[in-house]
């Protein structure tokens, strides 16, 4: 049987089921098998690897994963796609579709029930643009036993995730995801290989989970508060952003300046120039100051 991801087969499937795309679900289906195969290549899977997919659509990527993985679990929110997936994926007995919004699903429980203990697991998906960031954070914050994530998303978001300090794309999203993973953009995907065509180009990003976070900090939640505050107004200095946007610290500029200098950071710098290690030092110095302030 021909692969699902060809223009003719995709068109035939959609016509057979009278399927219409829902813009609210960010549905754009890939119609290029070469692109799909490269995405699966980047996941570096063996015949013992299990895969988690989010938003399988009509099964184009699922099919390529099923050919290489031991087992594929795919979360699909759109009930209209279930009968289509039942037909297109019928040849593959190693695929299970779960009708659920992945953001509301207990993914950890699914992993425990569906996969073997200590199994090599990769998340591989063509993510709907409108929920990319919350899905990535859910997968990482829930500390799932996965090796990594290979996902296609909007190029602009991929640029921000993989950005280095001192660049215009570097921000709180870059730091948050690089805290948990090593991030790299591995492929640019033109809009012409989708139906319907999106308005922007896409990119495939590979996130390899770190064994431990990129920097060890005293309080993880506070570290992320410091990062968010530092980027609240990009054109302002670190000092101004922290005074105006970080809660729970004394608003004494002299004291704050002293704390920054103790952390080896010039208060006149902007947040976008700091490395993740420098944010770690800054966060710990401010955390100690905050504790002293509240215990005084």
**Interval 130-188: pLDDT, tens:** 889 999 999 998 989 999 999 999 999 999 999 999 999 999 999 999 999 999 999 99
Mean pLDDT, to the nearest integer, of 252-263?
A: 89
User: Domain check: are 14 and 142 in the same one?
Assistant: yes
Q: Which of 144, 178, 209 is the last residue of a domain?
A: 209
Kindly report, residue by residue over 265-285, the tens digit of the pLDDT: 999 999 999 999 999 999 999
* Predicted pLDDT of residue 230: 96
Average pLDDT of every residue of the chain = 93
- Which CATH number fits the domain that encloses residue 97? 3.40.50.150
User: Domain check: are 178 and 290 in the same one?
Assistant: no
Q: Is residue 124 part of a domain?
A: yes
pLDDT surpassing 80 at residue 108: yes
User: Domain check: are 131 and 257 in the same one?
Assistant: no
User: Domain check: are 44 and 189 in the same one?
Assistant: yes
Q: Which domain holds residue 11?
A: 7-209
Q: Is residue 2 part of a domain?
A: no
Q: Is residue 145 part of a domain?
A: yes
Q: Is residue 214 part of a domain?
A: no
* Predicted pLDDT of residue 269: 95
* Predicted pLDDT of residue 1: 64
* Predicted pLDDT of residue 293: 67
For 117, residues 6+ apart whose C-beta sits below 8 A from its C-beta are none
Q: Is residue 230 part of a domain?
A: yes
Poorest-pLDDT segment among 23-37, 170-184, 217-231: 23-37
Query: Is the pTM above the cut of 0.85?
Result: yes
* Predicted pLDDT of residue 231: 95
* Predicted pLDDT of residue 9: 94
Q: Which of 158, 175, 209 is the last residue of a domain?
A: 209
Cα distance between residue 168 and residue 8, in whole Å: 41
User: Does the annotation place 262 within a ligand binding site?
Assistant: no
Q: Is residue 189 part of a domain?
A: yes
Mean pLDDT, to the nearest integer, of 186-208?
A: 94
- How sure is the predictor about 218, in pLDDT bands with cuts at 50, 70 and 90? very high
Cα distance between residue 82 and residue 4, in whole Å: 15
Cα distance between residue 261 and residue 282, in whole Å: 9
User: Domain check: are 166 and 55 in the same one?
Assistant: yes
Mean pLDDT, to the nearest integer, of 96-115?
A: 96
User: Does the annotation place 199 within a ligand binding site?
Assistant: no
User: Does the annotation place 30 within a ligand binding site?
Assistant: yes
pLDDT surpassing 70 at residue 228: yes
User: Domain check: are 70 and 24 in the same one?
Assistant: yes
User: Domain check: are 135 and 114 in the same one?
Assistant: yes
User: Does the annotation place 120 within a ligand binding site?
Assistant: no
Q: Is residue 253 part of a domain?
A: yes
- Which CATH number fits the domain that encloses residue 253? 1.10.8.100
User: Does the annotation place 76 within a ligand binding site?
Assistant: yes
Cα distance between residue 133 and residue 135, in whole Å: 5
- With CA atoms as reference, report the closest residue to 172 among 286, 276, 283, 278: 276
Mean pLDDT, to the nearest integer, of 41-45?
A: 97
User: Domain check: are 196 and 224 in the same one?
Assistant: no
Mean pLDDT, to the nearest integer, of 203-226?
A: 96
User: Domain check: are 194 and 47 in the same one?
Assistant: yes
Q: Which strand (E) or helix (H) includes residue 225?
A: helix 220-230
- Number of domains present in the structure of the chain: 2
Q: Which of 187, 209, 231 is the last residue of a domain?
A: 209
**Higher-confidence position of 233 and 295:** 233
Mean pLDDT, to the nearest integer, of 220-239?
A: 94
Give percent of the chain above pLDDT 90.
Answer: 82
* Predicted pLDDT of residue 250: 77
User: Domain check: are 20 and 160 in the same one?
Assistant: yes
Mean pLDDT, to the nearest integer, of 214-243?
A: 94
Q: Is residue 1 part of a domain?
A: no
pLDDT surpassing 80 at residue 115: yes
pLDDT surpassing 70 at residue 66: yes
Q: Are 36 and 194 in contact (CB under 8 A)?
A: no
pLDDT surpassing 70 at residue 296: no
User: Domain check: are 203 and 228 in the same one?
Assistant: no
User: Domain check: are 226 and 176 in the same one?
Assistant: no
User: Does the annotation place 288 within a ligand binding site?
Assistant: no
């Amino acid at each position: 049987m021909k692969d699902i991801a060809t223009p003719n087969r995709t068109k035939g499937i959609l016509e057979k089921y009278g399927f219409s795309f829902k813009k609210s679900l960010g549905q754009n289906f890939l119609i290029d098998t070469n692109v799909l195969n490269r995405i699966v290549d980047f996941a570096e899977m063996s015949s013992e690897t299990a895969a988690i997919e989010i938003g399988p659509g009509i099964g184009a990527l699922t099919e390529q994963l099923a050919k290489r993985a031991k087992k594929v679990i795919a979360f699909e929110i759109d009930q209209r796609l279930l009968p289509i997936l039942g037909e297109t994926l019928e040849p593959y007995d190693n695929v299970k579709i779960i009708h659920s919004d992945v953001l509301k699903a207990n993914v950890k429980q699914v992993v425990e029930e569906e996969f073997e203990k200590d199994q090599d697991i990769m998340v591989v998906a063509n993510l709907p643009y409108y929920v990319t960031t919350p899905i990535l954070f859910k997968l990482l914050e829930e500390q799932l036993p996965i090796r990594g994530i290979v996902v296609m998303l909007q190029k602009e978001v991929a640029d921000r995730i993989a950005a280095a300090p001192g660049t215009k794309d570097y921000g709180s999203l870059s730091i948050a995801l690089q805290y948990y993973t090593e991030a790299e953009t591995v492929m640019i995907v033109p809009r012409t290989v989708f139906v319907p065509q999106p308005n922007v180009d896409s990119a495939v990003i590979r996130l390899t989970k770190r064994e431990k976070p990129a920097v060890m900090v005293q309080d993880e939640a506070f570290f992320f508060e410091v990062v968010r505050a530092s980027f609240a107004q990009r054109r302002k200095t670190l000092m101004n952003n922290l005074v105006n946007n970080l809660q729970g610290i004394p608003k004494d500029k002299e004291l704050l300046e002293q704390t920054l200098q103790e952390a080896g950071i010039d208060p006149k710098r902007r947040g976008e120039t700091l490395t993740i290690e420098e944010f770690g030092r800054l966060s710990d110095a401010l955390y100690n100051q905050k504790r002293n302030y509240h215990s005084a």
